[in-house]
Every structure is written in structure tokens, then in C-alpha cells.
Copies of this chain bind each other. A is one copy, B any other.
Amino acid sequence: MSKTNRGRFFEDYQLGEVLHHAVPRTVGEGERALYHALYPARHALYSADSFAQSCGLKSSPLDDMIAFHIVFGKTVPDVSLNAVANLGYAQGRWLTPVWPGDTLRAESEVIGLKQNSNGKTGVVWVRTTGLNQHNEKVLEYVRWVMVRKGDLDAAAPQTTVPDLPDALTVNQLKVPEGLIFSDYDFAQAGEPHRWGDYELGEKIDHVDGVTVEEAEHMIATRLWQNTAKVHFDTSARPDGSRLIYGGHVISMARALSFNGLANAQMIVGLNGGAHANPCLSGDTIRAWTEVLDKAETAAPGVGAIRLRLVATKGGAPFELRDEEGKYRPEVLLDLDYWALMPR
């Protein structure tokens, strides 16, 4: 009857089904400039062609999180329009840089289904892949969401929960073709700290804070063609607030982490992530990082570092959970990722 998309409900997903998400998107210099305008992004490899070329790349690629947001945005109408909660990420890998002029599209395979015991919702696991115009994989990641049932009488599917390791191993990480850090210019990058200077367990307070505004997060979220109502429409939530897209917090925290991690240039792996509490306009986002792991790679001068990036809207740095093991109320994000750094 209706011509509008009401979104999929839990019973609409089939195990093994592949969803071809709509509306491909060509990205370029405009998206790059807006990324720098929306986040205090300063990692040199994404700021200057000259720096990227000194690292063996043909020019400066678009920020890794642009690829993530665009691909994520494409999945929203098919995956999370009726989502109650975005439960987690795993096995995220950046596979090819995105260059200005590339056209991205996305598809998702349903790899897990589990109806909740209340019979009203279920959990859907999808493995999403972003592809460019050459059909090269740009990015892939697993995401799971809790989705409402549309028809409470629909039969529950057989429960299938995918086996998802806590983290990617270094062998699973893809170092971009040609990347070398042997002639890395630390002065132009902004900090002297190299891979060898970071110790397991080390914690870094990124010091800076940004108070966020409605106009900014809506501009960002639209740029990624993410259409979830809660980000835009004050009538979508009982309290009249607009929920800030979790990816906006990721990008803000990653950009703030420049101060202390200026040389953690490229994001290559997403081990996991939780949006611990909602972020709203007026919140001041800060970030801190804990070094979780380190590994060498085969690329000249390139080390991998596994980091926990925590975004907060208050409180002291390095505080994550309360005595019951729950995220403290001021924690916005707990993200576990792999980055590439000069050794």
C-alpha cells in the first residue's frame, strides 16, 4: 500500500540473505573538507598529498572514518530503521583506501539471528561490505543490532550466533599497498613518538574537549546519508532531544586523539565497540586511550598498535566502569581498534 520504507522487522531477515543497500555515493574533496570542518582532524596522511606521497601513497586518501560512515549510512534503511539498540561491532577491516572520485556502495549478509526471550525483539548479526567502483572491498565489519518484531506471531528463526573473536590478529590486518613509514617526517606529522615509544597498558589523556552542537551532528549525519529519525526529528524521542549518531562521537574522539597519537595514522582494524551512553547537543566530548597490544607488520617501518579509545562527556580520564562493572554514566564510547604507526 504505502510507497515509503517502513524498514525491516526481525522476522524479515533470513540467515544467509544478502542485502544490497541502495544509493551508491561518489566521494571527493568536498567530503574531505567537511570532515576537517566537523572534526578537529589533523592526522597528516589525511591532510596533505605531500605527506601521503612521502609514505608511498599516490595522494592523500579520504579519512578512514569517512569510508566507515558512508558504508554504515547505506545500511541504516535496511538494518537499523527499527533497531532498538546498536549492540556491537566486530571483525572490522579497512581493505583499500578511498580516493577522491571513488564511488562507494554497500551490501550486508545476515550471519546470525536470535529471537529474544520476550518474543518482541531479536538480534540480527550482519557482515557489511563496502565496495568501490572497481568492485574492490574497501571495508568490512560485523555489526549486530536489536530489532523489533513487526508481527509478534511470526515464528522465531533457528538461533544462530556467529563466532566472533574478541580482536583481529595482526595477520588479518591489511596494510595499504605501497605504504612505507621508513622516511616518515615526524616534525611534519606533529609529534615525535614512534611505535616503540608506546607501552602496553599505557594510558593517554588527550586533554582537549569539544562541546557539540545540533547543527554540527545533523550536518555530519546527513553527509553520511544516515537517515535514522532519532538524529534529526525532535518528535522522535519522548524527551524531545536529538540523539547524536554514535559515529559522530567516534570521529570526534579519534580526531581529539591526535594530541598524543598524531602518528597513529591509519585505522586498519575495528575489534569492537560500544556506544555506552547517549550523546546530546551541549555535551563536551573528551577522549583517552589505552594501549592494548602491539605487533610488527611486513611493510617497511610500519608497526601496528591496538588501542582502546574512550570518549566521555565528563568525569576524570581513565575511569571506564563502576563497581558493578557497568559503564560509568559519563562514558560515551569504548572503541577497540588497530592503527598503523611508524616504528
A23 sits at the interface (CB 8 A): yes
CB pair B209–A233 under 8 Å, yes or no, is yes
Binds B, one of A42-50, A147-155, A160-168, A324-332: A42-50
Other-chain residue from B48, B216, B232, B260 in contact with A26 (beta carbon distance below 8 A): B48
Copy total for this chain:
3
Interface range, A side? 35 or more
In the assembled complex, which residues on chain B have CB atoms less than 8 Å from the CB atom of A292? Answer: none
The 0/1 profile, CB within 8 Å of B marked 1, for residues 11-35 of chain A is 0000000001011111011111110
Bound Cα distance from A188 to B234, whole angstroms: 30
In whole angstroms, how far apart are the Cα atoms of A30 and B33 in the complex?
5
> In the assembly, what is the distance between CA of A220 and CA of B216, in Å?
11
Q: Cβ of A23: which chain B residues have Cβ within 8 Å of it? A: 42, 44, 47-48, 188-190
Residues in B whose Cβ lies below 8 Å from that of A215: 213-216, 219
> For residue A100, which residues in chain B have a CB less than 8 angstroms away from its CB?
29
Contact B44 A24 (CB under 8 A): yes
Taking a contact as CB atoms under 8 Å apart, the answer to whether B232 and A210 are in contact is yes
Q: Is the CB of A20 within 8 A of B211?
A: no
- Cβ–Cβ < 8 Å partners of A191 in chain B: 3, 5, 22
Q: List 9 A-B contacts (CB under 8 A).
A: A4-B205, A4-B206, A5-B191, A5-B259, A22-B189, A28-B33, A50-B133, A213-B215, A215-B215
